[in-house]
Structure 1
Amino acid sequence: MGKDTFELGGQEWPKVTWWKMKGMRFVYLTLWAAMITSATNGYDGSLMNGLESIESWNESYNYPQKATLGLLAASMSIGSMLSIPVVPYVADIYGRRVGVVVGCVIMLFGVAMVSIGYRVALFVVGRIVLGFGLGIAQECSPLLVTELVHPQHRAVYSSIYNSLWYVGSLIGACVALGTNHLHNSAWAWRVPCLLQGIPSICQLVFIWSVPESPRWLISKGQLEKAKKVLAYVHAQGDEDDALVNVEFEEIRQTIALEKELEKNSWSEFWSTAGNRHRSIILISIGFFSQWSGNGIVSYFLPQVLKLIGITNSNTQLTINLVLSAVNVVSATGICFWVDYFGRRKLFLFSSCSMLLCYVATTIALARFDADTTGTNTAAAHTVIAFIFLYYISYNIGYSGLLVSYSSEILPYRLRAKGLTLMFFCVDLSLWFNQYVNPIALGDIEWKYYIVYCVFLVFEIFVVWKYYIETKGIPLEEIVKKFDGEGAVLGGAAASEKIQQLTEDGAVSTGYDGEKAVSTQVELRV
């Protein structure tokens, strides 16, 4: 495959320039309406760091510590976990766009409750409602992005989606730093809470400018509409374009085959060797994304800075702001190199680099603690430097690839459920981090870092053992990496076994206008 071509359906196709193609240009410029869901999530992470440094918020909630502080932070993850039974069915039955809308409406109710404030119980319930809505929106959004963009751009756009977490984090850091100057006014913390609703309002208005996923449309029998979307986004509206026809046939046949040959149930995740392999990746990447040590700084940076003698709120908020800016640059920058380096290499390099940074940070924290004068500025500066280097290392692998890699290793029939499984692991690990981390930092201080040093060694082994490369492979065709020649895949790239079944009439994937004609025949494979 040359640098100016990409592969699809066993053929090579010339690469396209998105801004020169009318439909693609419009869709890519409006796709932010789906992608800012990740920024909403990132805003919340920075918001909690900011609120912990704002005096009026601490005063309003009676200076929460340890378990109470952990509950306030973890309540959003609890809400996301509660949405787990609902999410895949909303995405698969009502569509990706409707799922985003439902999530945004629920989030706005949560924002209103959190902003009223003054009672810990109301703040917690508000964040649970906010997390429930986010749980729905944050799964439907990446599905829409992954299934809509041109095959050539899948890696970039699906990786950028999750990297926008840091854009939200940066905005949250700026807002908290600004409102902190309101001093003892309750608006110092109410304004950041209220502003959390703006992305959801924008999505409710603009998400309708983004076309629905053609794969979802095909799954619902809306074939002509699906082909129009593919043609509009990938070929300037030309429904006779060769690439559009290859894509359409491969997607249509694959979904038809999945419906006839597969069950689309939760039990599938452990019923075959290929799906067990996928499950190991989904579960591990969910936990690794939060248990690599990033959870300490993401939600409890002020507590970490206090370990090295930095207690001034403006200094804490400034460091949070600069860290957010560095994260935006490093996380989005690496997205444009995913197809160059490959997923597996980036994961391995990221995990190894994080381990080195964490060991260095642990040593520096120990040296600062050993200095009874509390003035070891060299150790303090080392901690800050390695916090920044650590996050750059984390962003190389887990920032953008968390969602994009999880989405692309799943066949269509399991994509919504698989992402739900992955996000459940993310929420479970977040709940642990947000509830346990402040308690551990308060009780054993810097020694808690040793736990993550050990865990990172385990993480490196799992990545090396199970994470496979998907670089340059079209979305539907990745199934072959897991299921081998028995993979359920239509189109020109189908295995001989599947092609024979189709030709013999065991599986029919005919196309007649807007209806997919599918003959149900008992199969003995």
Structure 2
Amino acid sequence: MGAGPAVVSDNAGYAHLIDNTRPWWKNSRLILLNVWIGLLLITSSTNGYDGSMMNGLQSLTQWNDAFGHPTGGKLGLLNAIQNIGSLAAYPFSPYLSDGLGRRTAIFIGALLMVGATIIQTASHSVGMFIGARFLIGFGLTFAASAAPLLVTEIAFPSQRAQATSMYNTLWYLGSIIAAWTTFGTFNIPTSWAWRIPSALQGLPSVLQIFLIWFVPESPRWLVSKGREAQALKTLAYYHAKGNEQDPLVEYEFEEIKAAIAFDRDVASNIGWKSLYKTPGNRRRMRIIIALAFFSQWSGNGLVSYYLNKVFIAIGITDPTTQLLINGILNIFNFFVAIIAGLLCDKAGRRRLFLISTCGMVVFWTLQTICFAIYTKHNSVAAGHAVIAMIFLFYGFYDIAFTPLIVSYTVEILPYALRAKGFVVFNFSVSLSLIFNQYVNPIALEKLGWKYYLVYVFWLTFETVFVYFFIIETKNRTLEETAALFDGDETVAMISEKAAEQAGLAQNENTDKQSNTSDEKAIDEVRIN
């Protein structure tokens, strides 16, 4: 008999159903599942690669010569055009992901990105390069809107938070590869100094095109399409070595069916208006939109796309030194984000967000002071201190805003709204990025260190918001987490629906057993 969703508590209702006597790395099915999750996670690497690649290309004389040494608005467009392409695809991505499936959306997005990467690598004009980057952003939206949803919906329950947290963390893997690729091609005298990094951007998408159909489809999507037998088989294969009667599998299956059945009963809860129609959904949207803008408006945008401008402002003009610091910074960010992501269930989301915002306020303020001292006194020591403060600032940024913004967003959304709500998140990220990519180079050039003061006040506001509005979600299933925002009434209704589902399943099993017993008795009579 399948269990219904437990009442939300400090410990997940499924915890006692997990066999902790054998570590996951000794379970071949879980190893295989995590390999497929790894294939999904590298979607984020494509995005991270782009930001670091554009940062590195700006330090390459060969790229600047090829495209007329772009500055100001032209440089802003070159950086922002990918996000403009992403915005263009957002109206279509939730329907593709919910209608055709998570895997199909990733496949289509990967195809578009591979084609766009080929055009980008072959570019011989600014227009061609801009057009290719628009298409990369368009394809990335389909893949990036579906991949984290699929990760969180197929991951083993006790590993879900960590696996989903790795999604945005893998942004830095792409960033590291791009940073060191541009550093390695720096001495190539021809246009291949920038064409090689451009070509490598398509590698994650090539892997996904060939391997995505080996990845299991989301059991929640399968149930929503009436393919319950396939959903149960998928859960059993990866979570219980094929045992469909495993208590954990039964718990997951009944909870998924109950939540989706509840959403169907409340038909008004699946449209775009539902994102702000109920108090619970308004709370979700407030948090999701805020985190999207915080993730790009915390000062990190200056480093992500315009680090070379910061270097020049503090007297570091040697391209080799710029590329070297960029490469080391990305490695540092990657390891800090991984550690923080793995601690998300132990430390808790709320605590990590508070530590992150408080630390950013402190070290951005110190960075501003050092920048001001350098500007006024041309102090070499102050210039070097700015670099140290950048590393420390990013260390605290990586504690929450790298690993948690995607995982927290998808886990607080119920299944029926997950694709649409995640599109709102990505749309908000793209809007904030486009603004940053246009405004940052202009404001930094006009205001210098004084521009940093804007972020000091903004980071303080972020800290206050996090303190009052972020809700702790650690150690809960997706359905339990969604119920946190909707109140006890919704929890009770879902529990009732799960009990009904479980009761039907039990009756079916009883009937089958009874029929089997009757058949055996009849056979015995016949034999006698």
Q: What's the TM-score once normalised by structure 2's chain length?
A: 0.91
SS at match of 1:239: coil
Q: For 1:416-455, list aligned pairs within 5 A.
A: 416-455=419-458
Aligned to 2:251: 246
What are the residue-to-residue correspondences of 1:418-497 with 2, within 5 Å?
418-487=421-490, 494-495=491-492, 497=493
Q: What residue is the counterpart of 1:519 in the other structure?
A: none
2:480 and 2:502 mapped to 1: Cα distance? 20
Identity of aligned residues (%): 44
User: For the structure 1 residues 200 and 501, does the alpha-carbon distance in structure 2 shift closer, same or farther, using more than 3 Å as the test?
Assistant: closer
- AA aligned opposite 1:82: A
**Aligned match of 2:145:** 139
Gaps of 5+ in 2: 1-5, 509-528
1:161 paired residue among 167, 171, 185: 167
Report SS of the residue matched to 1:302: helix
Q: Report 1:306-345 matches (<5 A).
A: 306-345=312-351
Cross-structure match for 1:191: 196
CA contact (8 A) 1:53 1:317 kept: yes
Cα distance in 1, alignment partners of residues 464 and 275 from structure 2: 22
Tell me the equivalent position of 1:54. Answer: 60
Q: 2:228 maps to which residue?
A: 223
8 Å contact kept, 1:56–1:188: yes
Larger radius of gyration: 2
- Answer yes or no: is the 8 Å Cα contact 1:7–1:13 preserved in 2: no
Structure 1 SS opposite 2:401: helix
Q: Which stretches in structure 1 are left out of the alignment for 5+ residues?
A: 488-493, 514-525
Of 106, 111, 121, which residue of structure 1 is paired with 2:127?
A: 121
Cα displacement (A) at 1:233 = 1.1
- SS of the residue corresponding to residue 396 of structure 2 reads helix
Partner of 2:383: 380
What residue identity is the alignment partner of 1:252?
A: K
Matched to 1:207, the amino acid is I
- Counterpart CA distance in 2 for 1:243 and 1:161 is 25
Q: Is the contact made by 1:6 and 1:13 (CA closer than 8 Å) also made in structure 2?
A: no
Q: Secondary structure at the match of 1:53?
A: coil
Alpha-carbon contact 1:102-1:133 (below 8 Å) kept:
yes
Name the amino acid aligned to 2:139: G
1:510 CA displacement: 5.6
RMSD: 2.0
Instruction: Give the conservation status (yes or no) of the 8 Å contact 1:235–1:244.
Output: yes
Shift of 1:479: 2.2
Partner of 2:392: 389
Other structure's SS at 2:186 match: helix
Question: C-alpha displacement at 1:269, in angstroms?
Answer: 1.3
Over 3 Å counting, the alpha-carbon distance change for 1:252 and 1:380 in structure 2 is same
Q: Deviations over 1:76-112 (max 9, x none)?
A: 0101111110110111001111111011111112212
Match of 1:258 in 2: 263
**Paired residues of 1:107 and 1:134 also in contact (CA < 8 A):** yes
Instruction: Identify which range, 126-135 or 116-125, moves more after superposition.
Output: 116-125
- In 1, Cα distance between equivalents of 2:208 and 2:53: 20
Point out the more displaced range, 295-304 or 327-336.
327-336
Task: Tell me the residue number matched to 1:400.
Answer: 403
Count residues in correspondence.
497
**1:50-92 deviation per Cα after TM superposition (whole angstroms, max 9, x unaligned):** 1000001001111111111100000001011111101101110
Larger helix share, 1 or 2: 2
**Alpha-carbon distance, 1:501 to partner:** 7.0
Q: Which whole-Å CA distance do the structure 2 matches of 1:196 and 1:449 have between them? A: 32
Rounded Cα–Cα distance in structure 2 between residues aligned with 1:205 and 1:364 = 49
Please give the alpha-carbon distance, in whole angstroms, between the structure 2 residues aligned to 1:132 and 1:368: 41
8 Å CA contact 2:258, 2:495 repeated in 1 = no
Question: Which consecutive aligned stretches of 4+ in structure 1 deviate over 3 angstroms post-superposition?
Answer: 9-16, 497-503, 507-513
| Residue 486 (structure 1) shift | 2.3
Q: CA offset at residue 456 of structure 1?
A: 0.6
Contact kept, 8 Å, 2:90 with 2:427, in 1: the verdict is yes
- When residues 9 and 24 of structure 1 are mapped into structure 2, their CA distance, relative to the original with a 3 A threshold, is closer
Deviation at 1:181, TM superposition (A): 1.1
Amino acid in structure 2 at the alignment position of 1:230: L
Partners of 1:310 and 1:392 lie apart in 2 by 22
Which residue number corresponds to residue 7 of structure 1? 12
Work out the CA distance in 1 between the residues paired with 2:496 and 2:17: 24
> Can you list the C-alpha shifts for 1:205-236, whole angstroms capped at 9, x where unaligned?
11222111111111111111101110111111
Match of 2:179 in 1: 173
Contact 2:254 2:502 in 1 (8 A): no
Cα offsets for 1:99-154 (capped at 9, x unmatched): 11011111112212222223222211111110011111111110110000111001
Counterpart in 1 of 2:105?
A: 99
Cα pair 1:66 1:442 within 8 Å, conserved: no
Contact (CA 8 Å) 1:104, 1:204: kept in 2 or not? yes
Q: Distance in 1 between matches of 2:496 and 2:347?
A: 36
Report how far residue 22 of structure 1 moved.
2.2
Q: Distance in 2 between matches of 1:10 and 1:97?
A: 29
Cα separation, 2, equivalents of 1:152 and 1:117: 46
Distance 2:297 2:175 in 1: 19
Report SS of the residue matched to 2:12.
strand
- For residues 14-36 of structure 1, the C-alpha deviation after alignment (integer angstroms, 9 at most, x for no partner) is 43622122211111123221110
> Are 1:21 and 1:235, in contact at CA under 8 Å, matched by a contact in 2?
no
Alpha-carbon shift at residue 11 of structure 1 (Å): 5.5
Judge conservation of contact 1:350–1:396 (CA < 8 Å) in 2.
yes
